[in-house]
A and B are shown apart, each in its own frame.
Chain A
Amino acid sequence: MSAVHVPAPAPQATPQEIPLRKTPKSSEAGRAQSRGGRRALGILAVVLAVLWVFPIYWMINSAFLPLNKLQTPDPTFFPLGGTLSNFRRVLDDPTFWAAMRISLAVVVIVLVAALIFAFLAALAVSRFRFRGRKGFILTILVVQMIPAEGLFISQYQMLDGWNLVNKVAGLALVYTAAILPFTIWMLRGFVAGVPIELEEAGMVDGLSRTAAFFRITFPLLAPGLVAAGVYGFLQAWNEYTLALVVMTDPTQRTLPLWLQGLVESNRATDWGVVMAGSALIAIPVIVFFLFVQNKMTSGLVAGAVKG
């Protein structure tokens, strides 16, 4: 929801309020026209919003519909007289819970490892100056440009050599490495955003540097760590390609692989169950996402505008 709190943009409203020297029409007519235009644009925006959200609405709608309402010549647009049986079938499926366990295990390992390692690295590059600092920053910038899909064959071979294929630890290893660069970028911004003077003040009052850091700066970094954590959660929870390559054993599926399996066994037979499965995987993610996305876009753009 956070994106919604972005301050309202005034610029487009103001121009019409200043009478232009060279405007042919009277300022009043111009204002009326702009108000009408604004309303038309507003309606256009709502239409586009409905269009964009329709697939998600359709997922939820279909998830509540029984088979005989899905396979009809005319689609059912509202889940009136709907059923929970699709959801029940997914929740009663032991393979769903097995995939859930694998996904949760991977996500927890990835989050803990990525947050600790990225935090230490972010601390180093934003609080100290040392030989190789620029090189390190440049490396994590460039690493993000490497098409990960080009690496998966050799990553598979590497994990295979260490007997880590089809293992939670193996998948967690490649995931952690994949999200570390962006997580370091993100945390680096947050660490640099806490003024060093606060720590210095603590040290003047007799704290050691480490104590000053943990008692003063660390608590201020909590929002950054939460944002980075949610980012990592989303990546690890949603990832499909590497999981497809690494987790080849059907009993070791993560949730996205499980969903693809569900689609392939139910295609053209029962879309309701597939939609219920999709919705169950998507809803927790959407909730987390709405919660964090503001931090991610504002971090992306802040300072990137010339002014």
Chain B
Amino acid sequence: MAASAPALQQDDVAVAFPRRRRRKLGVYGLLVPAAVLMGVALGYPLIRQFVISFQEYGLRQQFGQPAEWVGLQNYTDLLTDPYVWAVIGRSIAFCLVNAAVTMLIGIAFAVLMSRIGTASRITLQVSLLLAWGTPVLASMTVWQWLFDSQYGVINWVLSNVFGIDSMAGHSWIIQPLSFYFVATVIVVWMSVPFVAFSVYAGLLQVPEETMEAAQLDGASSRQRFWNITMPMIRPVLSIVLLLQVIWDLKVFTQIYVLQRAGAPTRETNLLGTLIYSYAKEFSLAGALATIMLVLTLALTGFYIRQMLKEDEL
């Protein structure tokens, strides 16, 4: 969505191009393939899942039995289950902690990049790019190996370098809290590069004259950072934070793969994996997916509205 930003300003010029009426239908022709495809593979499942969430739809219906309307039954089933609430709570906590930690480290890296020499900056950038570019599954396997209880290098460093003997042979994913710690480390490791590069690109666009003027007026470097730089890069920060919240709330792959590595599923489920575990009860899955969507909108709605207000499309 962000790639739109540069287009916004040029758009008005471009569309002012003289157009002829008979071309009008042709324009829709250009849109049809993309619109149909998105309608079929995104729009239709979205609506269908929404409809099913008000029906009784399980294995029997899959084999041809007609689905019955049950009103809000699926929603009340879910929302009266304390376990579902526990998972929702965990997901929100996981999302907020991960988004916050990612943003803080990402911003710190961006500021660091803007204050160091070329050689060290390039070193840091290449390292972040490598972490960013690695496929999720490849990263997940490496992290499992790093956290391996028997031969993992992390346990070795903790017990041999830092002298914490109890860490030798320690299993990281058995306890829920330590499981989420590992998941957080992995998610943050993967997400920081995107935040760092975006914020750094934003920092580069802060005009130097403004900073110089503020300095001549006696603003300290701390004041300049908080009162000039931060407000100026605020639009970048809000886009990036929005994306982090959306991504971290629906986190699936990392949790799922770690669960497969031997963690107790029930104690470590987040919304994404809980929906997946309802694969045989479509109506519950549909209802929970709808709840998750509403939750996403609730957490991000404010930002989305604000962004829509600022972008005039």
Contacts and interface: CB of A to CB of B under 8 A. Distances in A.
Interface of A: 1, 3-4, 6-12, 14-15, 18, 20-22, 38, 41-46, 48-50, 52-53, 55-56, 58-59, 62, 70-75, 113, 116-118, 120-121, 123-130, 134, 136-138, 140-158, 173-174, 176-178, 180-182, 184-186, 188-189, 191-193, 195-196, 200, 234, 237-238, 240-241, 244-245, 256, 259-260, 263-264, 267-268, 271, 274-275, 277-279, 281-282, 285-286, 288-290, 293, 296-307
B298 interface: no
B73 interface: no
Contacts of A73: 156
B166 interface: no
B175 interface: no
B30 A151 contact: no
A214 to B, nearest CB: 14
30 contacts: A11-B208, A48-B109, A48-B124, A55-B139, A56-B130, A74-B156, A75-B156, A113-B37, A121-B35, A126-B15, A141-B1, A144-B1, A146-B293, A147-B292, A150-B49, A152-B275, A154-B48, A189-B7, A196-B14, A200-B17, A256-B136, A259-B137, A275-B145, A289-B133, A290-B133, A297-B201, A303-B8, A305-B205, A305-B235, A307-B232
A18 B216 contact: yes
A306 B40 CA distance: 38
Interface string B169-197: 00000000000000000000100101001
A189 B11 CA distance: 9
Contact of A293 (B33, B52, B133): B133
A256 B250 CA distance: 19
B82 interface: no
Given A9-B204, A22-B218, A301-B202, A279 B233 contact: no
Contacts of B122: 4
Contact of B42 (A43, A127, A143): A143
Nearest to B117: A42
A281 B125 contact: no
Contacts of B282: 153-154, 157
B160 interface: yes
A282 B218 contact: no
Contacts of B104: none
B123 A45 contact: yes
A147 B270 CA distance: 14
Interface residue SS majority, chain A: helix
B313 A45 contact: no
The 3 closest A-B pairs by CB, nearest first: A289-B133, A177-B41, A150-B289
B309 interface: no
Contacts of A43: 120
A118 B109 CA distance: 34
Nearest to B145: A271
Contacts of A177: 37-38, 40-42
Interface of B: 1-11, 13-15, 17, 19, 23-24, 27-28, 30-31, 33-35, 37-38, 40-42, 44-46, 48-49, 52, 109, 112-139, 141-146, 148, 150-151, 153, 156, 160, 189, 192, 194, 197-198, 200-208, 211-212, 215-216, 218, 221, 231-236, 239, 246, 249-250, 252-253, 256-257, 260-261, 272, 275-276, 278-279, 282, 285-286, 289-290, 292-293, 296-297, 300, 304, 308, 313
A301 B143 CA distance: 31
Contacts of B272: 147, 149
A117 B28 contact: no
A302 B138 CA distance: 31
A256 B7 contact: no
B31 A136 contact: yes
B133 A143 contact: no
Contacts of B253: 240-241
Given A128-B19, A134-B313, A184-B34, A238 B129 contact: no
B260 A260 contact: yes
Contacts of B257: 260
A259 B135 CA distance: 11
Contact of A298 (B30, B151, B201, B207): B201
Contacts of B286: 153-154
A127 B109 CA distance: 39
A25 to B, nearest CB: 13
B12 to A, nearest CB: 10
A71 B146 contact: no
B122 to A, nearest CB: 5
Contact of B129 (A15, A123, A127, A290): A290
